[in-house]
Amino acid sequence: MEFVIITGMSGAGKTSALHVLEDIGYYCVDNIPASLLPMLYTLCSKSGDENMKRVAVVVDVRGTENYKNMNVAIEQFKSAHKDVKILFFDAKPDVIIIRYKETRRKHPLADRLKSGSVAEAVDFEKALLVSCKRLADYTIDTTYMSNKQLRERVMNLFMEDTSQALTLTFMSFGFKYGIPLEADMIIDVRCLPNPFYIPALKPLTGLDQEVRDYVLGSSETQEFVLRTLNLLDYAVPLYLKEGKSELVVGVGCTGGKHRSVTVARELNQHFQKLDYKCVIQHRDVWK
């Protein structure tokens, strides 16, 4: 059985992720108290309905007023079942505040605080979820993500064969838009030859062959990619040995359009050939 607990910051995308998992065949439950997780797990595991063998639930601050017990219940439940994974959603506080203002919805913790402000509720929730975030098998930061990118990320994580223990996610990005907070490793490729200064290549991206040929055509890039792959070839099995479920490798250049996209594709292709479960995402390529 597959059992996915979706949790994290309110306004960071948990409900959207649940809808994606429902679309790809998971039996989904929103806003279930953590104390009921063992009961639901037992019911689903004993059910003869194959549709209940892939389960996704959202557990967050809406379902309880005893937040400490919520974190403890999730930790105990996860330690008792090897087939339980935790998907944690996060985003920068200022972005979450803007989202609440745009939707004119009330933060679930606002009424429980004296000021009732969204900013205070967001800070309070972030502190509450520190221990829960440490338990996560997958962490997705949606600060700079569109709904389409969120959907693609979740589908890539859970549509493929989940028997593979480690998912390698290669994410190209632009430093000027901020470092992806969910990245476990950051590879800075701003030292490589930049197609931005070639008039014919400037409007293109690393998804175009002309840019790819230019970036990979330099001896500097070839040596850089080789040394990066040597590092990853050594490190990835160590992460796997430590039981990590997802390793997010951020590859950044200035704008996230040319060099980072090209190098991220090279790294992804290398590990695909080694039969790793790989996901590639170009966060800023169309900005």
pLDDT digits (tens, 9 = 90+) for 174-194: 999 999 988 999 999 999 999
Query: Quick one: DSSP state of residue 160?
Result: S
Q: Which helix (H) or strand (E) holds 173?
A: strand 167-174
Surface-to-core class of residue 30, CB atoms within 10 Å of its CB (0-12 exposed, 13-18 middle, 19+ buried) = middle
Closest CA relative to residue 124, chosen from 140, 141, 112, 138: 112
Tokens of 18: 């649940």
The predicted pLDDT at position 87 comes to 96
pTM (predicted TM-score): 0.67
Mean pLDDT value of segment 210-238: 96
What pLDDT, on a 0 to 100 scale, did the predictor assign at position 163?
40
Q: Phi/psi class of residue 108: alpha, beta or left (left: φ > 0; alpha: ψ in -120 to 50)?
A: alpha
Residue-wise pLDDT for 124-176, tens only, equals: 899 989 989 999 999 999 999 888 889 888 988 887 554 456 889 999 999 99
- Check pLDDT > 70 for residue 42: yes
**Residue 185 exposed, middle or buried by CB count within 10 Å (0-12, 13-18, 19+):** middle
Distance CA 146, CA 138 (A): 18
Rg (CA), the chain: 20
- pLDDT at residue 212 is higher than 60: yes
**Contact of 145 with 225, CB cutoff 8 Å:** no
As a whole number of angstroms, the distance between CA 231 and CA 219 comes to 19
On whether the CB atoms of residues 228 and 267 are closer than 8 A, the answer is yes
Block residue for tokens 């997010």? 248
For residue 287, pLDDT beyond 80: yes
